[in-house]
Each structure stands twice: as C-alpha cells, then as structure tokens.
A and B are shown apart, each in its own frame.
Chain A
C-alpha cells in the first residue's frame, strides 16, 4: 500500500470499534463506506474528542454506519434519527451530534422531522446519503427516485416527482447546506468538516451508488460506472451559476450551496434559562 493510502486507512481504523465484527452489512462497492471514510477523516482533522461525539441514525443501509464507529452511537427507529438527536443535543449542548440518514429515512418517513430540525436550526450535522432508492428492503422507490426511473414499486417507471434535499433544507431554514458525491471525496471530506464546524443545522447531501438495486434496475452498470457518472454529471456551484437551465438538465450542483449565520436553537434557549433561572 502506498504511504499516503496507508495513512488514510490508519486514520479510519482509529475510529472503528475494536470489538465490532466486520464485514459490514453493505454490498461490495457500496458508497456508504466511502462516506464513512470521509466523515472519519473530517473528524480526525478537527481533532474532536471521541467522548464528545454522538452519531445518531434511523433505519436503512446508511443508518447502519454509526454501528462501526467508536463514538456514542444511537441507532433508532425509521425516520426518527433527528428527533432522537435533538433530545441528545438539547440535553448536552456541548456535544457534537451527527445524524447519518438516507433518502427514504430522512425525506419520506422522517420528512416532517427533517424540515423541523432545519427550521429550529439546532446544531446538528445531518449527512444524507442519497442513493435514490430503498436499499435495505430491496429496491423500492423513494422521495428522491427520479421521475420515470425504475424501482420494484415503480416497475413501469416512477410517476411521481422527486425532492431535492438541499432545496428542501434551504427552504425549511437550515443554515449550512452542501452537496457532494462519493466520487468527489476530498471535497466531501472538506464539506463535512465545514458542516461540523458550523453552529446551526447543517446538511451535507452525498450522492451515492446503489448499484445492487438502483443501478441494476436502471441499467447504470457497476459501481465504477455509476461513480463515473457522478463525476460526469456534477457541476461546481460557480460554474452552474453561469449555465442555462437547459445546460443543467440531468446535472446536479455540488459544493457549498448555502450558508447563513442565523441564531442557533440551544444558544437561544440558554438565553431563556439565563434570564429566568431562579438562583
């Protein structure tokens, strides 16, 4: 192994649970592992104390990610990771709280919690791994499944429209919103780092491959072909601003998409406590 790669894997190993049995539940070639690596390298760069990090998730392939990590980890019910994380964060505002979620978990069953976590602007970082499909249950359509795409519950093509998670988060009040892909890993690592350091609700959507279901059903090839397509279709924000709607068709914008410095929920509540505390 080349030295640089070895150093990278050493960083990751530092944060994996010593007693958790591998292999992981993920299919070979799954993007979830790439996100996990980027996340851990971002944490390492920031030098966070493991005891001060809680990683919360719901149900689905991506939600299995925290299980392997040597932090405080809470694997909860389908769609509810954000309200569980809200409880942890509000009880311990000094703790770094991260939610790992998927497109079905965050945007379908957890859609209401997602918009309200954004609205509250509570200091939680959500990493939403978007693979356009329900992987764990075997390839059903999700709120990000594109129109006309095939899934096991849209066998003749999806008649529905899809959510853009970043637009949804910005509209609902999140104060840091970014998009990355599992191809652009250095950028993903940087964006996750920025999200973690941002005080307020931050979303990093990571576009990832489910070749087992989405790729197979929609004839998008193996993991390499799918990840190469992310490279080809991703457009940096600065470049996208100069492109027409017609030129942007079938593409998606990556990078930091939105940031504001609005006040954060736990901080605001602390002001209430400070003003009304009976001494």
Chain B
C-alpha cells in the first residue's frame, strides 16, 4: 500500500471517508455534539466531487431530505447523536416502510434527553433496533476503531443498498473523537454494492414487487418510471391498502428480506476463543478494553476469549450460540444500564452464567474493571 494512503483521522473523519468511498453523494444534517465533524467533513468534501451537502433546520428535516435524495437516486447519509437520533425516528420509520436505502450515523452520547453531550455511551443500542413505532427489522453496525469506522461505514452503505433499508452506524463518542492512523483502501479493494435497478419497461414496473428474495428493484425519480411512494402500508404497486391479505405480506417482506439473509449481515470478531471457558462479549469502544483484558488474562493462564459484535442488529442468535458453546461464563461489558446483555441471556442455555459490567457515568469501561469482574466470577 502506498504511503500516501495512510491518514491520521478521527472516527468521525473516517466515517466521512468511508461514506465517500462507498459512493455517498448527498448528506443532510444538523449540528450536534459529538457527531458534528461528520457534517463538517461532508460539507467540505461533497462539493469537491460534485455531491451535495445541506444543513437542514432540524433532524426531522435532515432525515426527510436524505430519503428524498435517495428516492431521487443518490446514495445518502446523515449523522447525529442521541437527541437528534430520537427526532429522526419518525422518518427512519418512513424509510423502513418505503424501503429506501440510506445510512444514519448515531454517535452515541449519554442520555436521556440532552444528557451528556461530550461523554461516551452505548445507551441507544435498543433504540437502533426499536426506535420508530411499528413492526420492522433493523440493521445496525458498530465500529470499535477508527479503521473500523471507515470499513463499517462502507458496509453500512452496502447493506442499505443490498436490502433497500436504512442502516444505522452505532458509533460512540470515544471512537468518534479518537485519532488513529488508518490506511484508506484503493478503489475497488472493498466491493461496493449498488441497489438493484428496475430494468422492465415502465408500464410493467411494480415498485414494491414481491421478488424471491423480497427486495424489489428500484427506480429513481426522473428515470422514466413514474411511481408512488407512501408511508401508508401499501400494496406492491405502492398504493395504500387496508386489506389484511396485503398488509401481512408487506410487513413480512420488511422482515424476511433481512432475516432470511442474516449470513450476509452478521459479523463477529472472535479473538482468543480457542478452548476459552470464559468470554468477554462487547461492541464498540468497549471491545478495545475487552481485547486487552482477555490478553492480560491469557498471559496469566486463564482461558478467556473475546467476542465483538460488528453487526449489532439483527442479533446473531445462532452464530453467537455456537461461538460461545464452550463457555461456562460470559462477561458482557456495555456503556449503559444493561441492554445487549438481555439478548445474550436470551440465547444462552440456563447453565451458562451471564455477568454484566455496566457503566453509565460518562466514563469508559477499562480493562482493569473487566479483570476485576473476571476475578470475582472465577
């Protein structure tokens, strides 16, 4: 790799670079700490490549503009943090039901409400799954390093285009504001996925067609296909329906197009799990502490491993069960009052002990804290 491809970047900067690499051409956002650098970077970079940046009047509008631009054919993204993420839920729900690809970056900070604008948190883990009202299936990815932030942002765009759905990048304040050297991949080094485009004659176009994989080919406004998009529950032609026989299939489509293809979405980082009897399980910035704690424990002769979720949603039930099958104890670290731990408890047999290390005072979980818990449960 050429030396010039190495860059010293913040997580937020790597997010912008990853988005540009993935083909982002439209960004709409509203300033909020600790995500603002994503908007600033997009404002700087997008006009230089003929893209578009717009600062909207609030997060409701930002999410709306992102969807509008995606319907018009552009790969689009917004970035925000807790309070803004709450405001975006309305139109994220619209993106779910209208099956509009887009990427939403949520740089998590402490809450509820205005909470802790400059302090780290992972308390939006469940909001990324169940944020908008109604039934749907969510995809969320979570980086743990600056380099990860680049590649996970690319992956978020790929997943959103592949599945015609909004994808959340669950960053946290620590990664967003850490500076690390990353190597920007060459063009073509990471495969880019584009939405499947409509190829049938316009009069045969069914915008929400029930295809075998439940993802309907998409047309952009202005490409000769005139179609209707609505947030009302709709039939395959896109027109609202109150018919039970049409409502069920539409909602099943939102679920099945994702849940039938979880192998394409799941991503776990598994370290030191050979013969591991105890596992640290975490995601995001906590995974850095987990990794160090596990390697310290290993050097002390304790059989500890490390499992990190790179995809948080959909939750990798079966894969995780398999990965943790040799463990009698699991220690889950997260920066909240206990969210992902309930998913882990749900999938593991009753005789596996599940322990939590929780922190929600704005500070990080340290390797020492995890080791203290390890000592306690040994």
Contacts and interface: CB of A to CB of B under 8 A. Distances in A.
Interface in B1-39: 25-26, 28
Interface stretch (B64-72, B156-164, B347-355): B64-72
Tier of interface size on chain B: 35 or more
Contacts of A269: 47, 52, 54
The dominant DSSP class at the B interface is: mixed
A87 B54 CA distance: 9
Which of A70, A73, A83, A112: most chain B CB closer than 10 A?
A83
A278 B47 CA distance: 9
A87 B91 contact: no
A91 B57 contact: no
Contacts of B74: 91
A276 B54 CA distance: 16
Nearest to B54: A90
Contact of B64 (A21, A77, A278): A77
Contacts of A91: 25-26, 52, 68-69, 72-74, 76
A80 B57 contact: no
Contacts of A73: 226-229
B231 A76 contact: yes
A19 B72 contact: no
Given A76-B231, A87-B69, A91-B69, A116 B64 contact: no
B168 to A, nearest CB: 19
Contact of A80 (B60, B222, B228): B60
A278 B61 contact: no
B244 interface: no
Nearest to A109: B60
Interface string A64-95: 00110011111111001011111111111011
A52 interface: yes
Nearest to B58: A112
A79 to B, nearest CB: 8
User: What class of interface size applies to chain A in its complex with B?
Assistant: 35 or more
A85 B69 CA distance: 9
B222 A95 contact: yes
Given A86-B54, A90-B54, A277-B48, A67 B239 contact: yes
Most-contacted residue by chain B among A76, A86, A87, A94 (CB, 10 A): A87
Contact of A276 (B47, B68, B240): B47
* Most chain A beta carbons < 10 A, residue from B28, B61, B231: B61
B229 A51 contact: no
A4 interface: no
B222 A51 contact: yes
B94 interface: yes
Contact of A87 (B57, B68, B229): B68
Contacts of B62: 83
Contact of A88 (B61, B94, B221, B230): B221
A166 to B, nearest CB: 21
B358 interface: no
A113 interface: yes
Contacts of A38: none
A70 B226 contact: yes
B49 A278 contact: yes
B349 to A, nearest CB: 44
A75 B232 contact: yes
A50 interface: yes
B64 A52 contact: no
A277 B50 contact: yes
B241 to A, nearest CB: 11
B202 to A, nearest CB: 9
A83 B48 contact: no
A2 interface: no
B256 interface: no
A20 interface: yes
Contact of B68 (A50, A88, A273): A88
Interface string A6-28: 00000000000101110000000
Contacts of B90: 77, 80
B48 A87 contact: no
A83 B61 contact: yes
A88 B224 contact: no
B230 A50 contact: no
Given A20-B239, A80-B61, A67 B230 contact: yes
A52 to B, nearest CB: 7
A88 B69 CA distance: 5
A88 B71 contact: yes
A76 B224 CA distance: 21
B187 to A, nearest CB: 15
A192 interface: no
A278 B48 contact: yes
A67 B48 CA distance: 37
A84 B68 contact: yes
Contact of A90 (B26, B47, B57): B26
Contact of B67 (A17, A21, A84, A92): A84
B73 to A, nearest CB: 7
B230 A75 contact: yes
A89 B232 CA distance: 23
B336 to A, nearest CB: 29
A54 interface: yes
A52 B60 CA distance: 26
B193 interface: no
Given A76-B94, A277-B50, A87 B228 contact: no
Contacts of A273: 47, 50
A87 B221 CA distance: 12
B231 A75 contact: yes
A75 B228 contact: yes
5 contacts: A87-B68, A87-B72, A95-B221, A112-B58, A113-B61
The 3 A-B residue pairs whose C-beta atoms are closest, nearest first, are: A87-B68, A87-B65, A83-B61
Given A83-B61, A91-B26, 10 more contacts: A80-B60, A86-B68, A87-B28, A87-B70, A88-B71, A92-B72, A112-B57, A113-B57, A116-B56, A277-B48
